[in-house]
Amino acid sequence: MFFKRLKTPGLGHNSYILGCGEGLAVIVDPRRDVDEYLHLARENNLSIIYILETHRQEDFEFGSAVLAQMTGAKIVSGCHELFGRTDIKLKDGEELKVGTTRIVALETPGHTPESVTYAVYLEDAGEKCWGAFTGDALFVGDTGRTDLPDPEKTGENAGILYDSVHVKIAPLGDQTLLYPAHGSGSACGGNISDRDDSTLGIENGTNPVFVKSRSEFADLKVAGKMARPPHFRHMEEVNLLPGRPLPSPGETHILQPREFQKRMKQGLVIDTRSPEAFAAAHIGSAYNVWLEGVPAMASWIANEKTQIFLVVDGSEEMEQAVRSFARIGIDTVEGVLAGGVEKWREQGLPIETLGTTSALEVHDWMQHGHLHVLDVRDEYEWNEKHIPGATHQFVGYLEKNLPQLHKDSKIVVHCSVGHRSGVAVSILKRHGFTRVYNMLGGITAWEAHGLPLSTSDTAEKED
Amino acid sequence: MFFKRLKTPGLGHNSYILGCGEGLAVIVDPRRDVDEYLHLARENNLSIIYILETHRQEDFEFGSAVLAQMTGAKIVSGCHELFGRTDIKLKDGEELKVGTTRIVALETPGHTPESVTYAVYLEDAGEKCWGAFTGDALFVGDTGRTDLPDPEKTGENAGILYDSVHVKIAPLGDQTLLYPAHGSGSACGGNISDRDDSTLGIENGTNPVFVKSRSEFADLKVAGKMARPPHFRHMEEVNLLPGRPLPSPGETHILQPREFQKRMKQGLVIDTRSPEAFAAAHIGSAYNVWLEGVPAMASWIANEKTQIFLVVDGSEEMEQAVRSFARIGIDTVEGVLAGGVEKWREQGLPIETLGTTSALEVHDWMQHGHLHVLDVRDEYEWNEKHIPGATHQFVGYLEKNLPQLHKDSKIVVHCSVGHRSGVAVSILKRHGFTRVYNMLGGITAWEAHGLPLSTSDTAEKED
Amino acid sequence: MFFKRLKTPGLGHNSYILGCGEGLAVIVDPRRDVDEYLHLARENNLSIIYILETHRQEDFEFGSAVLAQMTGAKIVSGCHELFGRTDIKLKDGEELKVGTTRIVALETPGHTPESVTYAVYLEDAGEKCWGAFTGDALFVGDTGRTDLPDPEKTGENAGILYDSVHVKIAPLGDQTLLYPAHGSGSACGGNISDRDDSTLGIENGTNPVFVKSRSEFADLKVAGKMARPPHFRHMEEVNLLPGRPLPSPGETHILQPREFQKRMKQGLVIDTRSPEAFAAAHIGSAYNVWLEGVPAMASWIANEKTQIFLVVDGSEEMEQAVRSFARIGIDTVEGVLAGGVEKWREQGLPIETLGTTSALEVHDWMQHGHLHVLDVRDEYEWNEKHIPGATHQFVGYLEKNLPQLHKDSKIVVHCSVGHRSGVAVSILKRHGFTRVYNMLGGITAWEAHGLPLSTSDTAEKED
Amino acid sequence: MFFKRLKTPGLGHNSYILGCGEGLAVIVDPRRDVDEYLHLARENNLSIIYILETHRQEDFEFGSAVLAQMTGAKIVSGCHELFGRTDIKLKDGEELKVGTTRIVALETPGHTPESVTYAVYLEDAGEKCWGAFTGDALFVGDTGRTDLPDPEKTGENAGILYDSVHVKIAPLGDQTLLYPAHGSGSACGGNISDRDDSTLGIENGTNPVFVKSRSEFADLKVAGKMARPPHFRHMEEVNLLPGRPLPSPGETHILQPREFQKRMKQGLVIDTRSPEAFAAAHIGSAYNVWLEGVPAMASWIANEKTQIFLVVDGSEEMEQAVRSFARIGIDTVEGVLAGGVEKWREQGLPIETLGTTSALEVHDWMQHGHLHVLDVRDEYEWNEKHIPGATHQFVGYLEKNLPQLHKDSKIVVHCSVGHRSGVAVSILKRHGFTRVYNMLGGITAWEAHGLPLSTSDTAEKED
């Protein structure tokens, strides 16, 4: 029986291909770039016959429609109208027979109203449920966020989700293998375990949705505020449409430095190199979004209409960047700088620099002079712990809420380890702040040094 | 948390790399070619600190010692003397702490006296057992064979194994993920599921060791006779020794056809192409062992001292073949035929052919004339069902028990689908039988056509 | 300076990517699947600015238009009207400056009227010509065939080609590197060397166009008859059109055996396995076209409207097959048999067999009984040498000129080594001939055995 | 005819595999890691029968002996005693027949006394020479340096080399393809073209050895001083010994940050990341040698006995680094920092920073304050052009000739584009200089901006 989890880096997304016997296979929650599913099907002599959607994904563009068109497979969903045009709509408890396998749909709302879990029963695994594709209802160590449909109803939806897990999923039994739509690093849940393999029995003893009471759980969800990346809105629209094949990296033009310089003014320059490399030399107007951060961070800067000009380390990184943008629905990467910053600077084109610093040095600076420390992590992270004397502004809101400081103020920016602060310092730089430092290692290094920390006191927060 | 199962094709072997927190990792039951473990460790920034052995493997050569030498890792085992020189010997119930992970050794004899199961407890998975490395004690859908230490004590050892599973493993709980040392296709168990993912709770409802009583289970083990490949003895010796690195495919000489013809007389020619390709054109003296069949079948033909001359489809297949021999301890592949049979025949060197046939044609022949049908599957397979009028001789014993027939008798050979019968017809051909046919599709096609079948009547069996 | 030859297997086609300085690159004679050009450009930070066509290719589908659309590059050609809509039309002797490189167009008709050679001058290689992209005007060891525009004018066009080489190309000098559009294995020249690297100086001493007189050369061309694959006509049309991207292998449906059996009746089954594998077991109605033979042989069997159902060895072979069909303009591969013939026969679906034999055995048969030996090589090969007593019919014409023999006649088919004869026996089999044998090793093995050969006596030829 | 050039990045080294007919192949000047030769031989069904050495290489470790041992091939050289123990010693003009190919040895001393050129004659290329393996006698656009045997005799040896080229190589004819042992980026020649493909006829019009008179050529060689990397001496010794297989990257230990910190004191830390990444965050005691620079630069810092602790970007870079060290005979890479600097700083371990700057900024600084500009390029590069007011010290000699300046002086270091200056600033930093800046873009950017340049005035040079 062929079965494989496909992880999408940067999105923390899991999709699955499940062989169901008799040469038939289903795909669960496919991403937009469907090549890998097709490749695995070919390699394993499988005919893809169904595509299961657990819910209308909001954090990435679905590949269901494209995959259905290429393979002739039918798209399967629950009955809720938010699913849009799918081919087979299963009612709660309704079963789909595929080869020797039975797949039962269970309505598990809470993360979103339409969310469905698919419980899988295999011929050779007897009467018990073998595994469950839980979508964003139940993760390993966490559950899907419940603020997306309506932030005001976060707590109410948390209760609905709690009930879905307890009434629909838990009864499948401790032996059930857990196959959620997201793992660690997703914008759909803040505390997902970085472990992939779990069972309902394991979750039963550790996951907050099991360990806490219904009201405690709702309180937790209300407290755990996560920002909502702007592309979620676009994805919700696009995922109701017929689907779009992925643009090829070949369509991104290789622009020689002077051509790049000329054309970059028509759009935005996004530099996907590391914060270190960016700090030491970059094009003046560039944003810095580290490569793995593109799916999560890019939509705070660009949308599906922005012309994007890329600065990358090499051709592999370019391909990954173009694919990462496309996965969140942004197909407008116009060109990439040939030879990167190295070739740019060899041609005598202007480069700029930024400061980097360390936790120890910042602590020292704080003792001896005037300094602004800006924490750009998510609100729930700030609430857990932060550096005394720092101010907070989530990186995604920074460009619209620039610090009310003189442009030559000394500003140290940090996040957890240094990536999001890399985005932030590039934003501050673009807006004329001249003395900005990225505190590499972030609050993680700060804590490792045993330097002092506060817990949340919202009075400190900058508005 | 990085975790990955590495499957060894042709051996049905599973080994594992488990990240344990703080950058430390353990490897479970490594095969002889250790590159992949090292590569995964490098890619995931893991320091390999321990190597766990569940038992002294008999069906493949261990990579523990080589891996330990390269990484400085310690080899961990149970306390039984059959483990030989390992670095850390855990008593029953004793625990090893690795990073944030606890690993508890449980003595689970039955398959072999020294067999140990390692129960794994993860920090983020709470008090319950997360997963169990069960070695050959418990497979998905099956258990390890119990005839290896002493065929006479198969039933007695089955009882011991039954107790190990029920007393030591079952209490770990339904939620426990099952990570055995073998999957489908292993010579260590005949009915292992071709599904990789399971939990104790799933096995609890389906696995014979749980579904049957202790005495029924012992009877089942006694009935399910599997042949014991000759290399098992050699592996048992080698796996107590300090370990040998893998020979490189580069050490196998590329021999041009006439050079191959000259040198092949010093040893054996083994042709790893498909039975079809072999039938249509082959070198007269060659054995045919299909590529994936090398680990399981080759030791019936060659041992660690045989000079082997290979005929293959191409360079990738050559590499796979050399590696497959090495995994069962055979490092004596002297040369490979450059350009394969195609170049051989273009140079006017002699080729021979064999017959192929189909189930329908054989059924027709059986109605109309004299014909010997020889079934070369394992004994337990023959007992389950066979073609009426056929005789049985397991392929591994065939060369020592050739049919007592005229050399020009028409002989049809079959197995389940056509691979082992390919080995068998090549053996018969070498021994002068001139009218041998491989029934492609085997008993599987026969059954699919709805042709008649018998169940075991040992009176029919050839001795 | 980045420069690379890209060879297209099965077509004997060469295309080139040439870095021209300042980050600019040109592509010469691109094939339809343009990914590799784009990939190399990305890897080497090159902007593709021009695409050079040496002539309107007839043996494969051009990728110029697709590549131009993706990169914004301009298509460059000579001025002859047969080039269709290209962006820049260079006159004889006219120069294109690209980066630090000069490219001079030279009209070199003969193979086709529009054929152009591009002479390349590099800044760091001084005044002398560095290399010449000669298209089909001059190959290593051969020249392009001159029968394509009009078979009646083969000799006349040979004279024109002779003049092109002597008047336009030879004066570039002995030092000039030779970069033709075809290497060994092309349908555009029968005796191309299997060596890729040459210079005009080397050709000067060995190539027939230099070694022979103008009239000897014309005679040679008239004598060297090669068949014209049917897709040439389609390619000539398609290559004037705007260009089509390559279909993805993902669009070919994986069909389970019974579904394949049902649907295959709507089109043709083409089995791309080796002649040996085909002989030992195949689907009754299938054609056998060995994988590397698809570009050269497939259009004798299928055209751009034929629904094709594939039988292959595995998924890599499937991808290669789909790509090979697409390269000659056939995008109608509907489905592929999941699991190949092995899974087909395991399900009890009917298989058939064919005979294989060797040169020695055939020679023996010819001494002792009635036998038809059919040679299916190209006419010029037959003329060079053939087996006494054989008849000749080129494989491409065979289906329209079946042997006038009883269906149960014993027929041995051969070609040079056994591939084209594999196609031929599958054709005879489809048309009811029951006793057909593929003589593996072909006339090459026959000759290697020292068996007798005749030279051409057209009286023997079958019509 | 299979033929392929294998380039070794960072060494500018070319080796070759040449198919010679009848399935036989020769390898020319193999590097230490021989896997790729063996792989190509397997893929192309070639038996490696001879290994040709053009001279006793001094800039990398030979793979001849290891390759000979694995394949049974014979090592072929000229007769000079400097070749050590080789199997076949060809006299000047003596011929080796391999398959259908003739290889003629020509003594071509000058770069080194024993240097030999192999002229190749192919059956299908007639009487003329097809190609020449010229070793370091003749490159594309340059010739080998002549100072290695004895710096005092650079001019004298240049004359000998001049004669070798004119008397032995030139007569092979303009049509001859040129296959030297080095391309662009080699430490064996400073002005080798970055074009790989050339012929003797092309060189004839452009290469200094042809364009200049004998005495002009000798003067040129005397003037073109290049430093001699320290590993040359070790290579000269090692290349006379029986040969050593490559250590595996698996033998390099993955060290978690605190373990790395503990052990790194036993040896040297070498950080192979880019100068930018190093500048923004690095371990205090580290040298920075960019990855591609390891073969050329590392021996100025470490020798074959130094315990090396690596900081790299990722596992691929680690493998490349280990291989690069091994290629110049350094097998002592003890460990690599798991997770790189990112994981190091997250654990709160101390990081340091360095300055980066641009040509424009430095020019500005030079107008307005006190500043030391240090040029660390090779002497011949300094002589061609340099920044007025700068001082010169080749990077390789810097650690033994530190600037006589206060440790808090502001020092700007540059090279051609910024890599060697990255090495230099890391050296200065280690020795206590606190205000060092790497001028990224180097003199190339300086010149591109049109800023002023001087030509050599040795008075400015620092001793």
How far A190 CA sits from the closest chain D CA (Å)?
20
The reply to whether residue C175 touches residue D202, judged by beta carbons under 8 angstroms, is: yes
User: Which DSSP string do the residues of C141-185 spell out, in sequence order?
Assistant: S----S-SS-GGGHHHHHHHHHHIIIIIIGGG-TTPEEEESB-TT
B313: nearest CA in chain C?
Answer: C274
**Does the domain formed by A3-238 have CATH 3.60.15.10?**
yes
Domains D3-238 and D355-458 share a fold: no
- Give the SS3 label for residue C48: strand
- Give the SS3 label for residue A279: helix
Chain D touching partners, 3 or more CB pairs below 8 A: A, B, C
Q: Which of A267, A258, A324, A265 is nearest to A297 (CA)?
A: A324
What was the pLDDT predicted at A248?
83
Q: Let me know: does B113 contact B166? Beta carbons within 8 Å.
A: no
- Nearest by CB to residue B359, choosing from C348, C353, C442, is C348
* pLDDT beneath 70: ranges in chain A: 457-463
C-alpha to C-alpha distance for B432 and B430, rounded to whole angstroms: 6
C-alpha to C-alpha distance for A455 and A444, rounded to whole angstroms: 15
pLDDT tens for C386-407 read 999 999 999 999 999 999 999 9
Q: Let me know: does D17 contact D31? Beta carbons within 8 Å.
A: no
The reply to whether residue C358 touches residue B281, judged by beta carbons under 8 angstroms, is: yes
Q: Which of A31, A34, A39 is nearest to A67 (CA)?
A: A34
User: Which DSSP string do the residues of C302-370 spell out, in sequence order?
Assistant: --TT--EEEE-SSHHHHHHHHHHHHHTT---EEEEETTHHHHHHHTT---B--EEEEHHHHHHHHHHS-
Whether C337 has a pLDDT exceeding 60, the answer reads yes
DSSP 8-state symbol, A450: T
What was the pLDDT predicted at B80?
95
Q: Chain D contacts of A360, Cβ < 8 Å?
A: 350
D179: nearest CA in chain C?
Answer: C197
Tokens 């992209």 label which residue?
C133
C-alpha to C-alpha distance for B216 and D99, rounded to whole angstroms: 69
- Nearest by CB to residue D45, choosing from B34, B249, B339, is B339
C-alpha to C-alpha distance for C181 and C136, rounded to whole angstroms: 6
DSSP 8-state symbol, A415: -
pLDDT tens for B23-82 read 999 999 999 999 999 999 999 999 999 999 999 988 899 999 999 999 999 999 999 999
pTM of model > 0.90: yes
Q: What number is the average pLDDT over the span B300-306?
A: 96
Chain B touching partners, 3 or more CB pairs below 8 A: A, C, D
Whether B459 has a pLDDT exceeding 70, the answer reads no
Whether C2 has a pLDDT exceeding 90, the answer reads yes
Residue partners of C225: CB distance under 8 A and separation at least 6: C147, C378, C379, C380
The reply to whether residue C197 touches residue D131, judged by beta carbons under 8 angstroms, is: yes
D130: nearest CA in chain C?
Answer: C202
pLDDT tens for B310-326 read 999 999 999 999 999 99
Whether B460 has a pLDDT exceeding 70, the answer reads no
The reply to whether residue D45 touches residue B71, judged by beta carbons under 8 angstroms, is: no
Percent with pLDDT over 70 in chain B:
98
What was the pLDDT predicted at B463?
39
What was the pLDDT predicted at D58?
86
- Nearest by CB to residue D276, choosing from A276, A357, A444, is A276
The reply to whether residue D70 touches residue B45, judged by beta carbons under 8 angstroms, is: no
What was the pLDDT predicted at A371?
93
Q: How confident is the model at residue B292 (pLDDT cuts 50, 70, 90)?
A: very high
User: Which DSSP string do the residues of A168-219 spell out, in sequence order?
Assistant: IIGGG-TTPEEEESB-TT-TT-SS--S----BHHHHHHH-HHHHS-HHHHHH
- Nearest by CB to residue B206, choosing from A126, A194, A195, is A126
C-alpha to C-alpha distance for A287 and A354, rounded to whole angstroms: 12
C-alpha to C-alpha distance for C134 and C137, rounded to whole angstroms: 6
Q: Chain C contacts of A321, Cβ < 8 Å?
A: none
What was the pLDDT predicted at A458?
47
Please provide residue D118's backbone torsions phi and psi, each rounded to the nearest 5 degrees: -105, 115
Reading across the β-sheet that carries A47-52, which strands appear in turn? A3-8, A13-19, A24-28, A47-52, A74-78, A88-90
- Nearest by CB to residue D346, choosing from A275, A279, A417, is A417
Q: Let me know: does A16 contact A27? Beta carbons within 8 Å.
A: yes
The reply to whether residue B256 touches residue D39, judged by beta carbons under 8 angstroms, is: no
- Give the count of beta carbons closer than 10 Å to the beta carbon of residue B112: 26
Helices (H) and strands (E) in chain B, counts: 17, 21
How far B280 CA sits from the closest chain A CA (Å)?
26
Domain-wise residue ranges, chain A:
3-238, 249-340, 355-458
At D124, the amino acid letter reads D
Q: What burial letters (b/e) apply to B178-196, b meaning 16+ CB within 10 Å?
A: bbbbbbbbbbbbeebbebb
How far C74 CA sits from the closest chain A CA (Å)?
14
Q: Let me know: does B267 contact B261? Beta carbons within 8 Å.
A: no
How far D172 CA sits from the closest chain C CA (Å)?
11
C-alpha to C-alpha distance for D64 and D50, rounded to whole angstroms: 10
pLDDT tens for A58-84 read 889 999 999 999 999 999 999 999 998
How far C122 CA sits from the closest chain D CA (Å)?
10
The reply to whether residue C277 touches residue B281, judged by beta carbons under 8 angstroms, is: no
**What stretch of H or E contains D437?**
strand D435-440
What was the pLDDT predicted at B333?
96
User: Which DSSP string do the residues of D208-269 spell out, in sequence order?
Assistant: HHHHS-HHHHHHHHHH------THHHHHHHHTTSS--PPPPGGGSEEE-HHHHHHHGGGSEE
How far A4 CA sits from the closest chain B CA (Å)?
10
Q: How far is CA B36 from the centre of its chain?
A: 20
Structure tokens at B148: 């290896």
Radius of gyration of chain D (CA): 23
Whether C342 has a pLDDT exceeding 90, the answer reads yes
At D96, the amino acid letter reads L
Q: Let me know: does C76 contact C49? Beta carbons within 8 Å.
A: no
pLDDT tens for A203-235 read 999 999 999 999 999 999 998 888 999 999 898
β-strands D435-440, D355-358 pairing: parallel
Whether C462 has a pLDDT exceeding 60, the answer reads no
Whether C336 has a pLDDT exceeding 50, the answer reads yes
The reply to whether residue B358 touches residue C346, judged by beta carbons under 8 angstroms, is: no
Q: What is the ipTM of this complex?
A: 0.94
The reply to whether residue B338 touches residue D48, judged by beta carbons under 8 angstroms, is: no
Residues of A near C (Cβ–Cβ under 8 Å) read 22-24, 34-35, 38-39, 41-43, 45-48, 70-72, 248-251, 253-256, 259, 314-315, 318-319, 336, 338-339, 343
How far C280 CA sits from the closest chain B CA (Å)?
5
User: Which DSSP string do the residues of B414-458 spell out, in sequence order?
Assistant: E-SSSSHHHHHHHHHHHTT--EEEEEETHHHHHHHTT---B---G
Average pLDDT, rounded, for chain B? 94
Q: Chain C contacts of D122, Cβ < 8 Å?
A: 195
What was the pLDDT predicted at A463?
39
What was the pLDDT predicted at A353?
95
Chain C touching partners, 3 or more CB pairs below 8 A: A, B, D
What was the pLDDT predicted at D463?
40
Which residues, in sequence order, are bridge partners of residue D180? D135
What was the pLDDT predicted at A461?
44
C-alpha to C-alpha distance for A152 and B78, rounded to whole angstroms: 57
Query: Which superfamily does A355-458 belong to?
Result: Rhodanese-like domain (3.40.250.10)
- Nearest by CB to residue D338, choosing from B23, B255, B343, is B23
- Give the SS3 label for residue D341: helix
- Nearest by CB to residue A345, choosing from D277, D353, D441, is D441
pLDDT tens for C11-26 read 999 999 999 999 999 9
What was the pLDDT predicted at A457?
53
β-strands C13-19, C3-8 pairing: antiparallel
- Nearest by CB to residue C202, choosing from D3, D141, D175, is D175
Domain B249-340, CATH class in plain words: alpha beta
D200: nearest CA in chain C?
Answer: C175
C-alpha to C-alpha distance for D41 and D32, rounded to whole angstroms: 16
* pLDDT beneath 50: ranges in chain D: 458-463
pLDDT tens for B180-211 read 999 998 888 878 898 999 999 999 999 999 99
Chain A touching partners, 3 or more CB pairs below 8 A: B, C, D
